[in-house]
Structure 1
Amino acid sequence: MASPPLLELTDRARLIFQLVVEGYLDSGQPVGSKTLAREGGLDLSPASIRSVLAELEQVGLLAAPHTSAGRMPTETGLRIFVDGMMQVAEPTREERLAIEQRLEASGPIEKALEATSAMLSDISGAAGMVLVPRRDPRLSQVTIVPLDKGRALAVLVGEDGQIENRVMDVGNTPASVLEQVGNYISSHLAGRTLPEASDAIRQELASGRTALDEASRDLVERGIAVWSEDASHRPVLIVRGQANLLDEAAMEDLERVRSLLDDLESKHSVAGLLESARDADATRIFIGSENRLFALSGSSVIASPYRDREGKVVGVLGVIGPTRLNYARVVPMVDFTARSLGKLIG
């Protein structure tokens, strides 16, 4: 049965629904009619409250776990609450200052990104994630080392000393040819990024202004193509605070937690989810099975793009945790952290 929009609920049903969701997000436990009658200020008997709870369950907004007589929101109920009822709690002046000072004290941008991930974890009580800005390092040298079974290892050395290794298929190419190819590519990399070097090499090969034979030319073209494509599909994701996911409530559902930790280990998939928030105008919230990646773990992700000083989106940050995240507090904190991080990026 499709859930009704909020406007179709009675004022009493809306209030009870809101109290159940807020109580669940606060405690992580289902909320019962006796608790609502005692603490909700409803001036209703437990029997009357149970009747409304049953109606909300019937329309798919609440569910009753078999281990409890209380109710908790379904994923649909959470979505309706987050989109239509949640009152966000903006960070206080002290919290804003603490976030800005922690980021500014972290040093180089690489350290700031790590500090951001850890800070998001502390803020949310879940795991913090930062998708590192894409960048094309300027390379200085390429060395191609023969391996076995027609494969070779290409070692790409950046001007900053960073080293990346890529395996490529080379067939029966002799070691001497591999050395020649490595020297040829290196000669075009001085002070250039891989895309810039790729363009220069392709233009030279197309014009015929090269002494390379056909086999070497083919190897150069294949290597450049593979490395360029590979670089564009190598997102760097910093995750901190996974231990926060192993709280007391999680111990009751170890299979869900194991599934979530497996998802986090597959950083490429998680990075893909964060990438989908890159073009968002505001912070995005993914709840449970709304995203196939977390259909089994029943987890939520709160993600926000962050921009450089020119307003260009350079990455995405966020938190991941159980669906009972404190959305009203975490959403504005993630948004403010994204804006603060952007001020540090040139």
Structure 2
Amino acid sequence: MMFSSGPSIPELNDRAREIFRRVVEGYIADGQPVGSKSLAAGLELSSASIRSVMADLERLGLLAAPHTSAGRLPTETGLRLFVDGMMQVAEPSAAERAAIERELSSSGPVETALARTSALLSSLSACAGVVMVPAREPRLRQMSLVPLGEGRALAVLVGDDGDVENRLIELAPGTDVSALEQAGNYITSQLAGRTLAEASRAMHRELASERAQLDDAARDLVSRGLAVWSEDAARRPVLIVRGQANLLDETAVGDLERVRMLIDDIERSEQVAALLDNAREADGARIFIGSENKLFSLSGSSVIAAPYRDRDGKVVGVVGVIGPTRLNYARLVPMVDFTARSLGNSLDVRAGHSGR
């Protein structure tokens, strides 16, 4: 990803660098503009000298002055410069690491672990926690086609993990109930134990060879009954989001429109999943600040995301947090990174247990 060009840290003298760092850290701490008087308390400089440096930093595009305040805020360019060149990361505390590992060691389905991960990240970060779930490929145990009347049927798929999913399918005029039963029995008896992708391939081979002892109506139902899952899975990003309410903190009172836009953006799960997908090839956590990603450019929000991998090093999903640009990047980047590694380890352990 290409970021906005701007001055580099070496181009700033020691005085400018220190003032810039303090403005950014002050803004991250409370979300408010930082004025020269508050900076003067920790620097052996007059307020006039500090204002002069801040004006220089503003001309460089690193700081901005809100209309309602004489203080300064970092711009997105300034935040990127700080994150890339000045930030000193703080590793998760022992308590935070223990909390993350404790949640991930809990028994239960993978989806439960992922939901807990998202909720825990939200709690620890005071942001929205997000987890992009690895594509699930349940193996079939049973499929039934239940007539509903008015030219519709309910396709009921039972996976070998006990999960049940339902889909509505349209029936051709005059479809007999016996065709529904025949199609369901065929799928269950011939294709059980395979994933949907495997089942679809095997089904098409069987139907093409005409080995399947099915009438035309049942053949059509078999084909459409499985296809409805394959099509839906390809279109639907599997995203778990927790903690949107955290975005409505005390600093959001004067900026409710921005927060409303952010929450609306998060509801667009397909676009959020596409954004997180940009972090899949990263070695660790990636940071997207404000307009660096189109989805959250209007709400002025940031995303920290990291891929998690299986035991073979293959990326299976992405975990992260979404919040205002004043995120505590130094604390959250290593936390997201640690969570991603721990999540990958947890999924490997679960896979090992299920294979016994």
Q: Same-fold call, TM > 0.5?
A: yes
Cα contact 1:145–1:152 (8 A) shared by 2: yes
Partner of 2:84: 83
Shift of 1:235: 2.9
CA gap 1:4/1:148 in 2 versus in 1, 3 angstroms: farther
Structure 2 residue corresponding to 1:19, chosen from 9, 19, 22: 22
Partner of 2:326: 324
Cα contact 1:133–1:315 (8 A) shared by 2: yes
Give, as a single letter, the amino acid of the residue that structure 1 aligns with 2:279: A
Give, as a single letter, the amino acid of the residue that structure 2 aligns with 1:233: R
Partner of 2:46: 45
Shift of 1:148: 7.1
Matching of residues 61-80 of structure 1 within 5 Å: 61-80=62-81
Cα contact 1:2–1:59 (8 A) shared by 2: no
Question: Larger deviation: 151-160 or 57-66?
Answer: 151-160
Partner of 1:182: 184
SS at match of 1:118: helix
> Where does the alignment leave 5 or more consecutive residues of structure 1 unmatched?
none
Cα contact 1:299–1:321 (8 A) shared by 2: yes
Structure 2 residue corresponding to 1:264, chosen from 266, 269, 285: 266
Matching of residues 145-294 of structure 1 within 5 Å: 145-146=146-147, 151-172=152-173, 174-176=175-177, 177-214=179-216, 216-294=218-296
**What CA deviation, in whole Å up to 9, does each residue of 1:186-242 have, x standing for no partner?**
333322211111111111122221233455434533443342132233333222222
Shift of 1:44: 1.8
Cα contact 2:100–2:339 (8 A) shared by 1: yes
- In structure 2, how many angstroms separate the alpha carbons of the residues matched to 1:168 and 1:252? 48
Partner of 1:113: 114
- In structure 2, how many angstroms separate the alpha carbons of the residues matched to 1:267 and 1:145? 31
CA gap 1:131/1:71 in 2 versus in 1, 3 angstroms: same
SS at match of 1:188: helix
- In structure 2, how many angstroms separate the alpha carbons of the residues matched to 1:136 and 1:174? 30
SS at match of 1:204: helix
Cα contact 1:109–1:344 (8 A) shared by 2: no
Cα contact 2:167–2:228 (8 A) shared by 1: no
Cα contact 2:309–2:316 (8 A) shared by 1: yes
The alignment of Structure 1 onto Structure 2 pairs a total of residues equal to 344
Question: Larger deviation: 149-158 or 48-57?
Answer: 149-158
- In structure 1, how many angstroms separate the alpha carbons of the residues matched to 2:119 and 2:214? 50
Cα contact 2:175–2:217 (8 A) shared by 1: no
Question: Larger deviation: 178-187 or 70-79?
Answer: 178-187
Shift of 1:115: 2.2
- In structure 2, how many angstroms separate the alpha carbons of the residues matched to 1:109 and 1:220? 29
Structure 2 residue corresponding to 1:7, chosen from 10, 14, 18: 10
Give, as a single letter, the amino acid of the residue that structure 1 aligns with 2:280: R
Matching of residues 300-339 of structure 1 within 5 Å: 300-339=302-341
- In structure 2, how many angstroms separate the alpha carbons of the residues matched to 1:313 and 1:259? 30
Cα contact 1:285–1:301 (8 A) shared by 2: yes
Shift of 1:38: 1.5
- In structure 2, how many angstroms separate the alpha carbons of the residues matched to 1:23 and 1:226? 53
Task: Quote the RMSD (CA, aligned, Å).
Answer: 2.3
CA gap 1:101/1:216 in 2 versus in 1, 3 angstroms: closer
CA gap 1:299/1:66 in 2 versus in 1, 3 angstroms: same
- In structure 2, how many angstroms separate the alpha carbons of the residues matched to 1:147 and 1:80? 60
- In structure 2, how many angstroms separate the alpha carbons of the residues matched to 1:89 and 1:225? 49
Cα contact 1:2–1:60 (8 A) shared by 2: no
Cα contact 2:30–2:251 (8 A) shared by 1: no
CA gap 1:281/1:221 in 2 versus in 1, 3 angstroms: same
Shift of 1:16: 1.6
> Please, what TM-score do these two structures have when normalized by structure 1?
0.90
- In structure 1, how many angstroms separate the alpha carbons of the residues matched to 2:5 and 2:82? 16
**What CA deviation, in whole Å up to 9, does each residue of 1:170-200 have, x standing for no partner?**
4436143344333332333322211111111
Identity of aligned residues (%): 68
- In structure 1, how many angstroms separate the alpha carbons of the residues matched to 2:108 and 2:226? 34
- In structure 2, how many angstroms separate the alpha carbons of the residues matched to 1:256 and 1:147? 45
